[in-house]
A and B are shown apart, each in its own frame.
Chain A
Amino acid sequence: MAIIASGAEAVIALEGNTIIKTRIQKRYRLKEIDESLRRERTRIEAKLISEARRCGVPTPIIRNVTDFEIKMEYIEGTALKNIITPQLAEKTGELVGRLHTCGIVHGDLTTSNIMFKDGKLYLIDFGLAYLDKTLEARGVDVHVLFQTFESTHENHEELTESFKKGYARTFQGAEEVMERVREIEARGRYA
């Protein structure tokens, strides 16, 4: 088993073709708070990963869930940030549109959390995902993605435009959300 990533909240290990995501204990908080939070978040994350797939968004297959640990399929592909094109940005728009139609907000949409494998895009890392149908939540979701376009890709305007096309195709409220995205940009937060 090899640790492949370590974030603020969890450690990701790889065992064969299975990813093991473990939410780590935080010494700073009371044991009662710590355990109930980690248990609850693990449960919700696993639930939303499966729920997203039912809504037509490719995600890793969940293999097992215990208190603080999710075992899931390892998507052995390339991160979108390495290979993005306007076509793939449009495809990303379709996936995010389906996700939002379903009432799910990813919470950390970056081109590192979208994987390309066998001609298909997968959304991974639902650690900050939650159920929310408000414009603000959806707007921030899209805004965060646009920011990774902007910070890592030269032709970001083309990517943004392509994303919007795909997003509007699978999500009815796309226009209102894009309006909110412009507002959020003007506020200059979540930079």
Chain B
Amino acid sequence: MPKILGLEGTAWNLSAAVVDEKDVIAETTATYMPTTGGIHPREAAQHHASHIAKVVKETLKICGKDIDAVAFSQGPGLGPCLRTVATAARALALSMEVPLIGVNHCIAHIEVGRWKTKACDPVTLYVSGANSQVLAYRAGRYRVFGETLDIGIGNALDKFARFAGLPHPGGPKVEELAKKATRYTPLPYTVKGMDFSFSGLTTAAQEALKSSTLQDVCHSFQETAFAMLVEVTERAVAHTGKNEVLLAGGVGANVRLREMLALMCEDRGIEFYAPEKRFMGDNGAMIAYLGLLMYKSGYRTAIEDSKANPNFRPDDAEVMWR
């Protein structure tokens, strides 16, 4: 049974894991925590550079060096972070004399969800700091049916939280405060066809702090932004005729968002799936697992094609394993 080492480091989480077809054999993680403000790309990359050797060593200590390929997040992500991890992956593949496999980070989120839940052919809502997309498989590719026209939902929450004086990451703090709200403050709801936008909402929420309590604005922000995401997910479901919804990405940890998606699915009579938390945010296991699927279908990345791609779109990758 092939075993794949996967390296993830597109943003603040650096993680290495080894998986086989059955399960995750080992996983080690080192998380970059900014002292103030949000993620600084260069500092995050320096963090990854100084921790990657230790993280990989720890992982291989548990499962041994008997690895069939090295997979890494080729993009999308922060350029400096991607380049650091790609360099490490190349060095490892060359020294261990095994193939290199560059994977798309968004697709890894979907595939780990299909692996760890009963979802088979879902519409996926992928929500993280930088990414917010509605994806579904059709004719050899994961197509983007809808996406943010500006910033990701996680960044929108973080930006607002920072403005309100809350520490990073802002999402969980906003979720906590929203529970204590007493009223809803209208905020701009922007869905254009299948796409959505969060920057206007973020600015309006900052403005709303002048006349409403922080708790009320947190609540209104979540309710507005999440309704937009759920609406577009439902449209993609209606459009594709699929009968499963999968939630992926770090913002997927939000209980209110899960509740809303579950309600929508219940009303449509379709299944809702969300993997356990460790597979929801960025993790090495998902990269290793997608690497495994690609490895088995014969895919290899030549060193000269292994350049990091910060704008790597999921619909640019050909899916040969389905």
User: Complex formed: what's the CA distance from A107 to B192 in Å?
Assistant: 9
| B238 contacts A33, C-beta separation under 8 Å | no
Tell me the smallest distance from the CB of A93 to a CB of chain B, in Å: 21
CB nearest neighbor in A for B237: A8
Is A140 located at the chain interface by the 8 A CB criterion? yes
User: Complex formed: what's the CA distance from A107 to B260 in Å?
Assistant: 26
User: Complex formed: what's the CA distance from A29 to B143 in Å?
Assistant: 26
Is B194 located at the chain interface by the 8 A CB criterion? yes
Say which residue of A7, A30, A36, A130 sits within 8 Å of B223 (CB atoms): A30
| B238 contacts A8, C-beta separation under 8 Å | yes
Residues of A near B184 (CB, < 8 A) are 30, 32-33
| B315 contacts A8, C-beta separation under 8 Å | no
Classify the secondary structure of B's interface with A.
helix
How many chain B residues touch A (CB < 8 A): the figure is 29
Tell me the smallest distance from the CB of A43 to a CB of chain B, in Å: 15
Is B264 located at the chain interface by the 8 A CB criterion? yes
| A191 contacts B143, C-beta separation under 8 Å | yes
User: Complex formed: what's the CA distance from A29 to B260 in Å?
Assistant: 7
User: Complex formed: what's the CA distance from A32 to B185 in Å?
Assistant: 9
| A28 contacts B263, C-beta separation under 8 Å | yes
Residue of B193, B224, B235, B260 with most partner-chain A CB within 10 A: B193
User: Complex formed: what's the CA distance from A54 to B297 in Å?
Assistant: 57
Given A33-B189, A130-B192, A189-B144, the answer on whether A27 and B237 have CB atoms closer than 8 Å is: no
User: Complex formed: what's the CA distance from A8 to B231 in Å?
Assistant: 9
User: What 0/1 readout, one digit per residue, does chain A (2-33) give for beta carbons within 8 Å of chain B?
Assistant: 00000111000000000000000011111011
CB nearest neighbor in B for A191: B143
CB nearest neighbor in B for A144: B193
Residues of B within 8 A of A (CB): 138-139, 141, 143-145, 184, 186, 189, 192-194, 223-224, 227, 230-231, 234-235, 237-239, 259-261, 263-264, 267, 315
Name 13 A/B residue pairs within 8 A (Cβ), A-sorted.
A7-B238, A8-B237, A26-B227, A26-B231, A27-B264, A28-B227, A28-B230, A28-B263, A33-B184, A33-B227, A188-B315, A189-B315, A191-B141
The 6 A-B pairs of least Cβ separation, nearest first, read A8-B238, A29-B227, A28-B260, A28-B263, A191-B143, A28-B264
